[in-house]
Amino acid sequence: MSIDINTLSAKELESLISQAKKRKTVLNKRKPLATVRTRLMRLIKAEGYTVAELFGTGAAPARAAKAPKAAKGPRKSGGKVAPKYRNPDNPAETWTGRGKQPRWMAALTAQGRKVEDFLIK
């Protein structure tokens, strides 16, 4: 957040100073981060857990992680998909059938050929 104080009126400056003082008071009341982290580590160990069990692998995160969304159907792996279609003029060009049609297929289907003609057996 960048504020150009040269463009603020006297009333706006007083408001900004007031907000800054309030924020500074809140921050000064907080305990140092290292102290809180040490207390948390002691509590985690005393209860018989590890940081990895509570927060995942690695060190404790800076902020709490969001809860995962509920799945609405089968889970997608996001992995590679085998090609379904092959260009007869250039066998190195294939298409999985997902996303936009490749140019070679769009050109051939525009000439009147059917998509099913390019299926890989």
Task: Specify the pTM.
Answer: 0.37
Structure tokens that stand for 16 in this block:
């900004």
Give residue 53's pLDDT band: very low, low, confident or very high (50, 70, 90).
Answer: confident
Condensed to tens digits (0 to 9), the pLDDT of residues 65-121 reads 566 666 666 666 677 889 999 999 999 999 999 999 999 999 999 999 999 999 998
With beta carbons less than 8 A apart as the criterion, state whether 16 and 3 touch: yes
Among 113, 85, 119, residue whose Cα is nearest residue 99: 85
Supply the DSSP string of 74-96, one letter for each residue: SPP--------EE-SS-TT-EE-
* pLDDT value, residue 103: 94
Condensed to tens digits (0 to 9), the pLDDT of residues 5-40 reads 899 899 999 999 999 999 999 999 998 889 999 999
- What are the extents of the domains in the chain? 9-55, 85-118
Helices (runs of H) and strands (runs of E) counted in the chain:
4, 2
